[in-house]
Homo-oligomer: A and B are copies of this chain.
Amino acid sequence: MIPSIKPSPINVPSLDSLTSLLKPQLKEIDVCILNKMQSPVDLIPQIAGYLISLGGKRLRPLLTVASAELCGYKGDRHIHLAACIEFIHTATLLHDDVVDESMLRRGMTSANVLWNNKASILVGDFLFSRAFELMVADGSLKVLKILSEATSTLAEGEVLQLTSSYDLELNQETYLKIIAAKTARLFSAATEVGAVVAEADEAKCRALAYFGHTLGIAFQLMDDILDYAADQEKLGKAIGDDFREGKVTLPVIFAYEKGADRAFWREAFEGRIQDDAALAHAIHLLKGSGALLKTKHIAQDFVREALYCLDTFPNSSLKAALQELAHFSTHREV
């Protein structure tokens, strides 16, 4: 029996505390993003602007700013670096939507559909490069090292996920490696960079990097659950995307390991029968076999680790907001 997590200070944890605490900084980040995505080539600000306008949670930039300020930082480097991390994230979204042949992004038509795959690839490349330009302008080799390693790990994780598509032999350990690379690494780079610009000591830098890592895993596992269990309208994209793309996520690994209708899973993933009826049966099996719940418990383990990382910091409203964010990762509906 997995022990339950201490409930958060408010009943339903949300991102609101953090975003309202850091509202002025978020505004500055948006201004910075808007400035830095400008280009004489119109299509670039058009596509980049479209993606940015869709909103999203701005989780990664929030993490950089929160980490820096939790370590007492007073300057504005964290704003620019937060913007540059959002650029990297936006570039990966553009390329992901091409790779996954997605039609929707945050409830709106995705850029690859609205423009085309070619534009999405090339504008993604531009945003990657512009992110590196911004990092170089910051001038810290330490920051550059963290972010360039993170970006290359992220790309490695994406390739690993691609080559693991449709592979029902994938196990929990390998799956956690994939999401550590493709999702959690940019989270941990975001938090670590915040600590580094604040010139926090080694222990605090490590604690915040690990906070980012564990939070990233928790968010990704919850994404995996929501892909089968969310309210489609709230989610802003089609339910079952992972299923249709042949992504073997942790819930599927658990259901298959448990032996819940293996023939069905083989037909779906190896035989590529992924129609609506198959998706409905997959959801039925994932819920019935306890695979979704088991995945959530794993995510909650990571949340506990994340909370533990924050112990080293003195109490403050910012720390409380980060604690709430950790709880939010597994309590959210989108």
Q: Which residues of A approach B to under 8 Å, CB–CB?
A: 39-44, 92, 95, 98-99, 117-119, 121-123, 125-126, 128-130, 132-133, 135-136, 139, 141, 144-145, 148-149, 151-152, 154-156, 158-160, 162-163
Q: Chain B's nearest CB lies how many Å from the CB of A145?
A: 5
Q: What CA separation (Å) do A118 and B162 show in the bound complex?
A: 8
Known A41-B156, A133-B149; contact A162-B122, beta-carbon cutoff 8 A: yes
Closest 4 A-B residue pairs measured CB to CB?
Answer: A129-B152, A126-B155, A129-B151, A125-B155
The residues of B that contact A133 with a CB separation of less than 8 Å are 148-149, 152
Known A132-B152, A144-B136, A151-B132; contact A158-B95, beta-carbon cutoff 8 A: no
CB-defined A-B contacts under 8 Å, sample of 8: A39-B159, A117-B117, A125-B128, A126-B152, A133-B148, A133-B152, A136-B144, A136-B145
Report yes or no: B125 in contact with A136, Cβ–Cβ below 8 A. Answer: no
Report yes or no: A139 in contact with B141, Cβ–Cβ below 8 A. Answer: yes
Q: Which of A99, A122, A148, A152 has the most CB of B within 10 A?
A: A122
Q: What CA separation (Å) do A119 and B95 show in the bound complex?
A: 11
Which one, B44, B125, B149, contacts A95 given CB within 8 A?
B125
Q: What CA separation (Å) do A53 and B176 show in the bound complex?
A: 33
Copies of this chain per assembly:
2
With contacts A42-B163, A125-B158 known, what are 7 further pairs, Cβ within 8 A? A41-B163, A99-B121, A117-B117, A121-B121, A132-B144, A132-B148, A135-B148
The residues of B that contact A44 with a CB separation of less than 8 Å are 156, 159
Q: What CA separation (Å) do A125 and B98 show in the bound complex?
A: 13
Q: What CA separation (Å) do A130 and B151 show in the bound complex?
A: 8
Report yes or no: A129 in contact with B141, Cβ–Cβ below 8 A. Answer: no
The residues of B that contact A154 with a CB separation of less than 8 Å are 129
Known A132-B148, A133-B152; contact A99-B126, beta-carbon cutoff 8 A: no
Q: Chain B's nearest CB lies how many Å from the CB of A113?
A: 16
The residues of B that contact A163 with a CB separation of less than 8 Å are 41-43
The residues of B that contact A125 with a CB separation of less than 8 Å are 92, 95, 128, 155, 158
**Nearest residue, chain B, Cβ from A177:** B40
Report yes or no: A123 in contact with B41, Cβ–Cβ below 8 A. Answer: no
Report yes or no: B118 in contact with A99, Cβ–Cβ below 8 A. Answer: yes
The residues of B that contact A144 with a CB separation of less than 8 Å are 132, 136, 144
Q: What CA separation (Å) do A183 and B122 show in the bound complex?
A: 15
Known A95-B125, A119-B162, A159-B123; contact A152-B130, beta-carbon cutoff 8 A: yes
Report yes or no: B158 in contact with A122, Cβ–Cβ below 8 A. Answer: yes
Q: Chain B's nearest CB lies how many Å from the CB of A140?
A: 9
